[in-house]
Amino acid sequence: MPPRGVKGAKNARMYEKIKKSAKGRGRSTKTAKRIAAATVNKRRSAAKRSRSRKKSSGGKKRS
């Protein structure tokens, strides 16, 4: 189960795959979880996807 910061089905799948890969390379469970979460967050940040979308005011733009 991914940590709360990992949102979305695609990111959750990526988290699990990275965690499994790190465990396969001999990392501890705790370290594998940390590596997976950091990697998913790094990729989210690089793609400029925020965890939550900001709502626009919906009003007219001031000049």
pTM here?
Answer: 0.65
30 domain-assigned: yes
Interval 16-54: pLDDT, tens: 999 999 999 999 999 999 999 999 988 887 877 666 655
DSSP for 1-60, please give it.
---TT--SHHHHHHHHHHHHHHHHTT--HHHHHHHHHHHHHHHHHHTT--SSPPPP--SP
59 confidence band (pLDDT: 50, 70, 90): low
Whether residue 2 is contained in a domain is answered as: no
pLDDT in tens, 2-25: 776 677 888 889 999 999 999 999
Domain count along the chain: 1
pLDDT at 55: 61
Residue 38 belongs to domain spanning: 9-46
